[in-house]
Amino acid sequence: MRALVQRVRQAKVTVAGRVTGEIGEGLMILVCAMAGDTDAKAAQLAQKIAKLRIFRDADDKMNRSILDTGGAALVVSQFTLAADTSRGNRPGFSTAAPPEEGERLYMRFSDDLRALGIQVENGEFGADMDVALVNQGPVTIWLDV
């Protein structure tokens, strides 16, 4: 699985004028299930992100995780993270999981984060979404598991 994680002050997803997910301080997580990914990969990614020490401590060092801060996560499916641009200018997405499997693993990942005690909000799988966020830092981390 692949994710782009951003530390945010706030984030919101809107679909057709309706807010589907909104958080204050925490993590904006764009996630993509890749072909061949498993439930174990979703769980591994959730564990990695939950323990990722990218929040400031009392000494202003990135030494705290979302578990430490009690922040929330806004999880949005993002198949374009699988983009392959090695053959020209039009990206290919053949390395992304098929849509049914991608949605299942996206929801599994979200449920795995919830099981760790993190408040999770979601976008809407397969929808045309408007995503707004205030990146704090900025801190943006790419993860592959």
Nearest 10 degrees: Cα torsion 144, 113, 104, 93 = -30
Determine which one of 20, 44, 55, 78 is catalytic: 78
d(CA 12, CA 134): 10
Any catalytic annotation for residue 10? no
Any catalytic annotation for residue 80? yes
Determine which one of 6, 55, 79, 109 is catalytic: 79
Instruction: Report the amino acid identity of residue 92.
Output: G
Determine which one of 6, 44, 69, 80 is catalytic: 80
Q: Number of helices (H) and strands (E), helices first, in the chain?
A: 3, 8
Place of tokens 């764009």: 30
Any catalytic annotation for residue 79? yes
What would the DSSP string read from start to end of 73-133?
A: EEEEE-GGGG-B-TTSSS-B-TTBPPHHHHHHHHHHHHHHHHHTT-EEEE--TTS--EEEE
| Residues labelled catalytic | 78-80
